Amino acid sequence: MQDLLEGLNDRQKEAVVNTEGPCLVIAGAGSGKTKVLTHKIAYLISEKYVKPWNIIAITFTNKAANEMKERIQNIIGDAANDLWMGTFHSICVKILRKYIDRIGFDHSFLIFDTSDQKTLIKECLKDLKVDDKLFNDRAVLSEISNGKNEMLEPKAYQTKYAGDFRRETIGNIYELYQQRLKENNALDFDDIINCTIKILTENPDVLEYYTEKFKYVLVDEYQDTNKAQFMLVSILASKYGNITVVGDNDQGIYSFRGADITNILNFEKDFPGTKIIKLEQNYRCTGNILKAANAVIKHNDNKYEKKLWTANDEGELPSIYQAEDEYDEATYIVSQINHLKTEEYYKYSDFVVLYRMNSQSRAIEDILRREDIPYKIVGGLKFYERKEIKDIIAYLRLIYNPSDNISLKRIINEPKRGIGKTSLDNIQQIAEQNGISMYEIIKNAEQYGLNRVKANADEFINLIEELRVKQNELSISELIKETLNKSGYTKALELENSVEAESRIQNLEEFLTVAIEFEEEFADNTLGEFLENITLSSDIDNVEDAENSVTLMTLHSAKGLEFPTVFLVGLEEGIFPGYKSIGEENALQEERRLFYVGITRAKEHLYLTCAKRRTIFGSTSYNAISRFVKEIPEELLDGYEEMQKEKVEDKFEDSNYGWKYGNKESKVKTYTFGTGEYEVKKQTPVTTGFQYRTAESFLSSLNKKNDFDISKYKEGQRVYHKKFGEGTINKVEEEGEDYKIDINFDKVGHKRLMAKFAGLEII
């Protein structure tokens, strides 16, 4: 026993040896919760002489389960093989394989994946004569999944939503869908837990067997459980009451997946006599990073208040940087990566960039590619490899070159047009026989006896022909808008009405930003040049070993991970927290928990970044710095004073309102500078955007009033910048009435500045 408890702190030991009755372990970030769970299981077996098969340990990922089992094996040996350990679904499938005949299924049942589910839903829609344009298969599946998460069977669902036409219709689809699943001897993912609960509650002998078998129940990440998962563990622990759950109410971030944080908040009410143990010693982060995390999370309502502390060094202060735009933000990130890699010998794999939305990755990817820094996307695809982006590019390629059979096959049924694989195979065969493109065959389908193809594809052909004519009349961004609108692609995603569809729409809007930037940079901006530019920018030829690459991921994907250096980006009102969360207190508190999760991923270095202006979803916005950043005391943020010095007094910044293109209001604002007062009219017509939003843009209009000698800077000179420190001028280029200066700064690396506004001092 001495060896087993050695290395545990007092609270961890308390959690391990407290084996009888309900126990709630509130485990702060980086506090060693996995160690507690593994040692508690080992303690039960080696010191309390509990049989391994009388213990069930439930995790949320197979990876976590495998890691725990491996650790337990290292402590107690092969006895760990007799444990029941795994995810909710893997454990339930073991029960179902034995007893599913009790609810009318054969033991050889199948589990339908998403693709199978969609096929089945489409059959149901067809048989019920439901318009699949009004009831998209994905939207219907999403709603059925929500009903199953609430443990509503079809009849209960229909009763609950009686009088609601859309949901009544979905209720009918749900009923037929479940009938067809049974006909196929199949379950979907949501059924796995619900059917297990049904077997246990309807069969006393099965209930007695498993409640007797599992004398000790342990659950990880309890704050992420939903209603069905809560019901399952409650049933399994009902006989002996020896249930230990480990979680952190400050890290509950999955409500959109059906997780119910009240499960952990109400645990002591649901399980009377609960022993509550808090793990507050953090082994991951430096002291200053923890201070920042504690300062933020204290703004949430918190039933189980805790304050993380560490015996680690205080470390560096978290850094704050306000960029001019998303590209300046990305350049700053790269400069810090290069600095730490060069000066402190960090590897690329030591860095992670965390963002709120997948669409934020594009500018960062662009700069990483430009600097030849290898990276990988976790929890998402690289921007140009995402399905919706590849689809719209395929449309543009077909418009530009109708002989592109690859692109045609990709989008002929995006959205659905009733041209199946058999028809496409036939079209391809005829095209090959005649030595012409598939597009030409479809365009002249009647000549080849393809009357059904003609009927289904006529609208598609007319669309491509119309856009081929317009490609020389419209700008690239206008052509994209026309394509998305007239093809019905965006409309189909809107009808889907799911989180995934919303993300796809956001990515398409971000693709508009790509086009707008291309138009601004290239004078001719033809469709051919645009497609070439896209192809080259998404072709990564010299990526190093994937294990040594910078990681990019959403904050939700980062849960449970840790990195030496973390960049938390896009910290502006409307981005993080998002607009939808700002007016809803529960949603805002979950966003704050997400920010807290992001902070506590960092072991040694934490960088927080925001931008004065950000072009995203096809428009430029000017939003205030995130309230979450402002919740961190100024003295805990390196760079805060410099950021404040640069800030020009602006009364609008006292509010959380952000100016955006497309706002039809006009305001008058007075900026005060050392040279006097100037009145600036901020106009916001829809087409051109307003004239001045920042002091920099206003000063740019006063170039002629600026009479200092901008020609004094020379290559090789040593200069000083108030933010970036000392550096050497590499290159000076004339740009209008100003000079563009490339400088290699000693601490932050390469920067490109305009001479008139850089405020450089020659050393």
In terms of Cβ atoms closer than 10 Å to its own Cβ (0-12, 13-18, 19+), residue 108 is exposed
| Number of Cβ within a 10 Å radius of residue 302 | 13
- The rounded distance, in Å, linking the Cα atoms of 453 and 442 is 7
Check residue 31 and report its DSSP letter: S
551 is known as an active-site residue: no
Residue among 251, 322, 615, 684 flagged as catalytic = 251
DSSP element (H, E) containing 682: strand 676-682
Look-up of token digits 């009790």 = 102
Give me Rg for the CA atoms of the chain: 30
220 is known as an active-site residue: yes
| Number of Cβ within a 10 Å radius of residue 303 | 10
601 is known as an active-site residue: yes
Residue 292's closest CA among 630, 534, 60, 722?
A: 630
Provide the residue count of the chain: 763
- The rounded distance, in Å, linking the Cα atoms of 660 and 683 is 11
- Strands 619-622, 659-660: pairing is antiparallel
| Number of Cβ within a 10 Å radius of residue 264 | 26
Residue among 601, 603, 614, 627 flagged as catalytic = 601
Residue 317's closest CA among 563, 598, 723, 638?
A: 638
In 214-283 the beta strands, taken as DSSP E runs, fall at: 216-219, 243-247, 275-279
Cα-based torsion angle of the residue sequence 696, 700, 704, 708 in order, rounded to the nearest 10 degrees: 50
Look-up of token digits 């001028």 = 729
| Number of Cβ within a 10 Å radius of residue 104 | 8
Contact residues for 20 (Cβ-Cβ < 8 A; gap 6+): 242
CB 575, CB 356: distance < 8 Å: yes
Look-up of token digits 């205080």 = 314
Residue 71 C-beta-side C-alpha neighbours within 13 Å: 19
Check residue 647 and report its DSSP letter: P
CB 583, CB 405: distance < 8 Å: no
| b/e burial code for range 327-364 (CB count within 10 A of at least 16 → b) | bbbbbbbbbbbbbbbeeeebebbbbbbbbbbbbbbbbb
| Angle at the Cα of 249 from the Cα atoms of 247 and 250, rounded to 5 degrees | 115
CB 361, CB 733: distance < 8 Å: no
Q: Find the distance separating the first CA and the last CA of the chain, reported in whole Å.
A: 66
Residue among 137, 188, 221, 224 flagged as catalytic = 221
- The rounded distance, in Å, linking the Cα atoms of 225 and 60 is 9
Q: What are the residues facing 620 on neighbouring strands?
A: 615
Backbone phi, psi, residue 114, to 5° = -60, -40
34 is known as an active-site residue: yes
Residue among 220, 326, 328, 604 flagged as catalytic = 220
CB 622, CB 615: distance < 8 Å: no
Residue among 11, 13, 33, 613 flagged as catalytic = 33
Q: Is 161 helix (H, G, I), strand (E, B) or coil?
A: coil
117 is known as an active-site residue: no
CB 58, CB 91: distance < 8 Å: yes
447 is known as an active-site residue: no
- The rounded distance, in Å, linking the Cα atoms of 139 and 606 is 39
Active-site residues: which are they?
33-34, 220-221, 251, 601
